[in-house]
A and B are shown apart, each in its own frame.
Chain A
Amino acid sequence: MLAAIGVESLDALFSDIPAAVRERFRPLGLPSRSEMEVAAWLEEMAGANAGSRLVPFLGGGIYDHYVPSVVSSLVSRSEFVTAYTPYQPEVSQGTLTAMFEFQTLICELTGMEIANASLYDGATALAEAAMMAERIRGRGRIAVARTLFPQFRRVLDTYAWGADLSLVELDYDPSGRCEFDNPADELSAVIVQTPNAFGVIESLQGLKRRIGDALLIVSAYPLALGLLEPPGAFGADIVVGEGQSLGLPMGFGGPLLGLFATRKAYLRQMPGRVAGRTVDTEGQVGYVMASQTREQHIRRARATSNICTNSALCALAATIYLSSVGGDGLRSVAKKNLENAHDLAGRIAQIDGFDLAFDGPFFNEFVVRTAEDPDAVRTRLAEGGFLVAPSKGLVALGVENALRIAVTERRTKAELDRFVDVLGGKR
C-alpha cells in the first residue's frame, strides 16, 4: 500500500508532526492479537460491568425506556448519520425537514409557539433559558426551585456565575413541591422542574400569575407530557427539558437531547438553531435555517448563545419515536409508567421499615425512606439484581435515609414482584 501511494515508510506519513513532538510519543504497549482474540478479551472486560446485568430502577433525568427498532434502524441510515450542519439548505432538505418536524412536535408536546432544533442536553437548555430570561428582563436575579436535578443545578450555577446572575433558592414543602413567595418584581425569571428531583409533580396552577412579569421557565420530563397538562397551558414563557426519554437509550449518560420552546414574541432571543419553512423561486416548499443572524457565528459577542450546532441525530431519533408512537401511543406509554410506579410504590409502603417520603403526586419516580442504612439497602438490591441510585444525591437535597426509585414501562410484573421481595429481605 505504501508503494501504491508513493510513500517510503509508515513513519513518513507522520512527517508533518515536528520531530521534537514525535520523540515524546510512547508506544501503547498493547499486545498484538487477532481480531477474534481482541473481541473476546473486550467482551470479558465488559462482562465485569454490573450495569449490563442489573435491572435499572434509575432515574434522575435519564430513564430506561423502550426504544422501538424503527428508531434505531432509521437513525442509522447513512444519509442521516453522515449529514453535516445544513449551512447550504439546497443540499440539506432532508436534515432541515426533519428539524422542522422535530420543532413542530416539541411545540405540540409542550404547548408552546416555537421551538429550536435542539440544544446539547436538558441541563444546558435550562441554563440557556435562564440567560435568555435575563436578556429579556435584565433584573440580575432568578428564583430557582431547590428541587431541580442536581446536575441541572450545577450547570445553571456555572452559567450564572459567568453571567454575574444571582440565584435565589425556593425550598420545598413536606409534600415535596417547591414553595414560592418571593417578591416578583425583582426577578427576571422563576425556574421550576416538573416532575422534580423527587419525582413529585409540581403545581403550576396559578404560578404564572403570582410571579408578576418575571418569566416562568419550566423544565419538564417529555415522556410525562404524554399524560400531564403541557407547561404552555399554564402560561410558561420558556419550556426546556431532557429529551432522552423520547427514543434515546440511557447510553451511560449520553448523548443527550436538549429541548427548548418559547413564545413567538421571544423568537429573536431564543438561542440555538431554528429550521424554517419557505417557498423557492418556483413556489415549491423548501426548508432553510432561519434566524442565523442571532447565532454566534454571525452576531458574535452579542449573540444569544455560543452554541453553534444542535443534537441533530438525537433530535431525529426523538422525531422518529414521536411519529411512530403518535399521541395515543405516547399517552399509553406514559400511563404504563404511571401504573408501574404507583403499583410498586404502594407495595413498598406496606413493607415494614419503608415508607414514601413525600405525599405529593408523582409520575414514574418516587422517594422511599428507609429504616436501614439506604446504601445497605442499595447493596442488597444490587445483589438481588436491581440497580438504584446512591442515596447521597438525596442527602444533598436535604433528604436523609432515603432512596429514589424510578419505574418505567419496561419493568415487568416479575421484576416488580422480585424487587419487592428483595427489598423486604426475602430473597
Chain B
Amino acid sequence: MTYPIDYRYTEDHEWIHVEGSRARIGITDHAQSELGDIVFVEVPQIGTEVAAGETLGAVESVKAVGDVLAPLDGKVVEVNSILEAAPETINDAPYTDGWIVVLELADPAQVDRLLDAAGYERLLSGS
C-alpha cells in the first residue's frame, strides 16, 4: 500500500489533500481494503457546515458501514457525484477519482494537527 506523501491523514483512515483554502477528502487504501467491495456512499449536502469530528457521510460495503468523519472545520462545497453510480471507484482509486467531498476550510491552520504520510504509516504498523 502506498500513502501519497503530499497528503495528510487521520487516525480514522481519511486522507486530506489541501488545495489552497480547500481540502479534498477521501478514505485511504487501507480503509477501502478493510471494507471490501463498496456498494454505497452517503455524501452530505453541499453547503453543510461541519466541525472536526462530526459525521460527513458514510461508506457502505457488503460487510460493514464506516462513517466518514470531518477531519477539519469547514463547509462542504463539492461532493463526488460519480460515486452514486460507481461507488466501487473508491476501491479502484481511493486517492484520486475516489475522492468523496471538498471542504472550504474554516481554519486552515488545523491542517497542522493532522498526520503526515510517515505518521500514518507508523499508525498502521503499530496497530
Contact = CB atoms under 8 A, between A and B. Distances in A.
Interface of A: 268, 293-294, 298-299, 302
Interface stretch (B56-64, B87-95, B98-106, B108-116): B56-64
Nearest to B60: A293
A293 B63 contact: yes
B67 A293 contact: no
A18 B64 CA distance: 41
B40 interface: yes
A268 B63 contact: no
Given A293-B60, A293-B61, A268 B67 contact: no
B77 interface: no
Interface in B35-75: 40, 42, 60-65, 67
A294 B42 CA distance: 13
B97 to A, nearest CB: 24
A155 B91 CA distance: 43
B40 A268 contact: yes
B67 A298 contact: no
Contacts of B65: 293-294, 298-299, 302
A278 to B, nearest CB: 12
Interface residues of B, number: 9
A302 B63 CA distance: 15
Contacts of B62: 293
A302 B64 contact: no
Main secondary structure of the interface of A (DSSP, over half): helix
A268 B40 CA distance: 10
A293 B64 CA distance: 5
Ordered nearest first, which 5 A-B pairs have the shortest CB separation?
A293-B65, A299-B65, A293-B60, A293-B64, A298-B64
B67 A302 contact: yes
Contacts of A293: 60-65
10 contacts: A268-B42, A293-B61, A293-B63, A293-B65, A294-B65, A298-B64, A298-B65, A299-B64, A302-B65, A302-B67
Contacts of B63: 293, 298
A268 B42 CA distance: 10
A134 to B, nearest CB: 16
A293 B59 CA distance: 11
B83 to A, nearest CB: 15
Contacts of A294: 65
Contacts of A302: 65, 67
Nearest to A303: B65
B73 to A, nearest CB: 20
Given A293-B65, A298-B63, 10 more contacts: A268-B40, A268-B60, A293-B60, A293-B63, A293-B64, A298-B64, A298-B65, A299-B65, A302-B65, A302-B67
A212 to B, nearest CB: 18
A151 B67 CA distance: 36
A302 B58 CA distance: 11
A294 B58 CA distance: 11
Nearest to B62: A293
A294 B65 CA distance: 7
B27 to A, nearest CB: 16
Contacts of A268: 40, 42, 60
B89 to A, nearest CB: 19
A74 B60 CA distance: 38
Nearest to B40: A268
A293 B40 CA distance: 11
A127 B67 CA distance: 25
Most buried by A among B60, B61, B65: B65
A293 B60 CA distance: 8
A42 to B, nearest CB: 50
A298 B62 CA distance: 11
A268 B57 CA distance: 13
A302 B40 CA distance: 16
A302 B62 CA distance: 17
Contacts of B40: 268
B95 to A, nearest CB: 24
Nearest to A294: B65
A299 B42 CA distance: 15
B31 to A, nearest CB: 15
A283 B104 CA distance: 47
B47 to A, nearest CB: 16
A299 B67 CA distance: 10
A233 B65 CA distance: 33
A43 to B, nearest CB: 53
Contacts of B64: 293, 298-299
A329 to B, nearest CB: 39
A302 B60 CA distance: 13
A298 B60 CA distance: 11
A293 B62 CA distance: 7
Contacts of B60: 268, 293
B90 to A, nearest CB: 15
Most buried by B among A293, A294, A299, A302: A293
